[in-house]
Amino acid sequence: MLDIKLIRNQPEQVKAALERRGEYDLTALLALDAQQREIEKTRSDLQASSNEVGKSVGQKIREGADPKGDEVKALRDEGNRLKQEIGELEPKERELNAEIESILLTIPNLPSDSTPDGKSEDDNVEVRRWGDELIDTEADAKRLPHYEIGEKLGIMNFERSVKVAQSRFVTLMGAGAALERALISFMLARHTGVGYTEVLPPILVNSDSMQGSGQLPKFAEDGFKCDRDDLWLTPTAEVPLTNLHRDEVLGADQLPINYCAYTPCFRREAGSYGRDTRGLIRLHQFNKVEMYKFVHPDSSFDELEKLTADAEDILHQLKLPYRVLELCTGDLGFGAAKTYDLEVWLPSAGTYREISSCSNCVDFQGRRANIRFKAAGKKGTQYVHTLNGSGLAVGRTMAAILENYQQPDGTINIPDVLQPYMGSETIG
């Protein structure tokens, strides 16, 4: 959430920054803010007058005035009139504050100065590639898509998943289930090995948690909600991890806090109908290992580079070709100020597909979830900066392995780093 004081004091600068994303009209918000501040000043002035009247009543009585006399009665009548006016203003002020907050919750984060301008994903900027030498386009042309080889090997079943649930779910069988588990274990072991603290959070989260992380109100239609309990199936571990410290004041010496977590994730994929209807790329339920950081504002952009490198290292160790894109303003996520997307090579598509998104949200989530920190010996608090990134999306990683490690005889070689977790060298 943006700071209303920033919008109030620098409206043109905020408007210009938002226009890099698209069209955002701040007129109604600024008008409500001006109205709220006017009422707040009037109420404050009336409260000061009421306090003075109260003091005057006490002073007159101490000076010998009759507590039931006309002079004291007139002062008390004036005090009651002032209290009535204050009582009439307070609900109006609360209503305006609620309206202002509801608008603020729908305004996206401001892009960082270093985020490239652009209107859509076509304007994203490629930063680097890795593993070009691993791509064999001649061999790729003969490889089956991951969902075809997966069904052929009997390690994934989509048809029976429709019977159990509906479309866009998968049941992993035998070596498929083992490979998914191996990937999760490998990713968590890698991240905890470099200092992340592993977390196993609830996968049902309340509406406050969804709002604090930026999922509500904007992405309500993409979530699965349990209305009876005001709980949502988490769309990403970013949601519970953000809210572990909601409404807390951390010590500056606690930062940075680095968490990693495996969770199932649930999304309706609203607006994606007709896209990636087959396979593991766009499911309603999928597994993901998430990395999350609470950091000092001075270091957040350096931490973004570290976070991205941590995601890349998984692909290095799996020897999967990939590229890194810097997202333009038109493709930037709602809560992000700057984002790098990692895209892995999928031979069946002959292109790169997203497998991780690493973002610096600066103080956007910290402000929404009221997460602050305080330096020892200093007055006041600051909002933490938060970062998140997939490390990695497990199903998409499996898809990349099934295609890039597919052999001419239809078997799948298991990447070296996964063999200890699998207990075998091949599938099929």
Report the pLDDT value the prediction gives residue 196, as an integer from 0 to 100: 98
Binning the chain into helix, strand and coil, the percentages to the nearest 5 are 45, 20, 35
| Active site annotation includes 282 | yes
- 131 and 242 share a domain? yes
Q: What average pLDDT score do residues 66-85 get?
A: 90
Enter the pTM of the model. Answer: 0.93
- 421 and 310 share a domain? yes
Q: Which residue do the tokens 């306090």 mark?
A: 51
Domain containing 207 equals 121-427
- 151 and 32 share a domain? no
- 100 and 196 share a domain? no
User: For residue 112, is it within any domain?
Assistant: no
| Active site annotation includes 396 | yes
Q: Are 261 and 237 in contact (CB under 8 A)?
A: yes
pLDDT single digits (tens) 206-231: 999 999 999 999 999 999 999 899 99
- 378 and 405 share a domain? yes
Checking if the pLDDT of 57 tops 70, the result is yes
Please name the amino acid found at residue 103. Answer: I
User: For residue 2, is it within any domain?
Assistant: no
- Residue 252 is classified by DSSP as G
CA distance 426 to 186: 17
Tell me which of 104, 129, 161 is where a domain ends: 104
- 286 and 334 share a domain? yes
Checking if the pLDDT of 58 tops 80, the result is yes
**Distances, alpha carbon 55 to alpha carbons 52, 61, 206, 396, in Å:** 5, 10, 47, 71
Active-site option among 190, 372, 396, 403: 396
For residue 340, give every residue at least 6 positions away whose Cβ sits within 8 Å of its Cβ, in sequence order, or none. 127, 304, 308, 324, 325, 326, 327, 357, 358, 359
User: For residue 281, is it within any domain?
Assistant: yes
Share of residues in the chain with pLDDT > 70 (%): 99
Q: Is 410 left (phi over 0), alpha (psi -120 to 50) or beta?
A: left
pLDDT single digits (tens) 284-299: 999 999 999 999 999 9
User: For residue 109, is it within any domain?
Assistant: no
User: For residue 116, is it within any domain?
Assistant: no
User: For residue 306, is it within any domain?
Assistant: yes
Please name the amino acid found at residue 289. Answer: V
Active-site option among 50, 357, 359, 390: 357
What interhelical angle do 394-404 and 175-193 show, nearest 10? Answer: 110
- 93 and 144 share a domain? no
Neighbours of 52 (CB within 10 A): 14
Report the pLDDT value the prediction gives residue 23, as an integer from 0 to 100: 82
| Active site annotation includes 94 | no
Checking if the pLDDT of 274 tops 80, the result is no
Q: Which residue do the tokens 């196993």 mark?
A: 200
pLDDT single digits (tens) 226-266: 989 999 999 999 999 999 999 999 999 999 999 999 999 99
Active-site option among 8, 181, 268, 282: 282
- 95 and 162 share a domain? no
- 270 and 395 share a domain? yes
Checking if the pLDDT of 269 tops 90, the result is no
CA distance 161 to 279: 12
Report the pLDDT value the prediction gives residue 381, as an integer from 0 to 100: 97
> What is the number of structural domains in the chain?
2
Report the pLDDT value the prediction gives residue 273, as an integer from 0 to 100: 64
| Active site annotation includes 372 | no
Tell me which of 34, 69, 104 is where a domain ends: 104
Q: Are 6 and 99 in contact (CB under 8 A)?
A: no
Phi/psi at 215 (5° precision): -80, -30
Report the pLDDT value the prediction gives residue 65, as an integer from 0 to 100: 86
User: For residue 313, is it within any domain?
Assistant: yes
The beta strands (E) that lie in 159-280 are given as 171-172, 197-199, 204-206, 224-226, 231-233, 249-251, 257-266
Checking if the pLDDT of 270 tops 90, the result is no
Active-site option among 267, 367, 368, 372: 267
CATH number, residue 279: 3.30.930.10
Please name the amino acid found at residue 190. Answer: R
- 30 and 141 share a domain? no
Report the pLDDT value the prediction gives residue 61, as an integer from 0 to 100: 87
CA distance 381 to 37: 24
**Local structure of 277: helix, strand or coil:** coil
- 39 and 176 share a domain? no
- Please report which confidence band the pLDDT of residue 272 belongs to, taking 50, 70 and 90 as the band edges: low
Tell me which of 43, 73, 104 is where a domain ends: 104
Cβ neighbourhood burial of 97 (10 Å; 0-12, 13-18, 19+): middle
Tokens, residue 394: 């497990």
Report the pLDDT value the prediction gives residue 3, as an integer from 0 to 100: 97
Q: What average pLDDT score do residues 112-130 get?
A: 97
- Residue 118 is classified by DSSP as -
- 96 and 131 share a domain? no
User: For residue 135, is it within any domain?
Assistant: yes
For residue 392, give every residue at least 6 positions away whose Cβ sits within 8 Å of its Cβ, in sequence order, or none. 187, 288, 289, 311, 314, 315, 342, 355, 356
| Active site annotation includes 21 | no
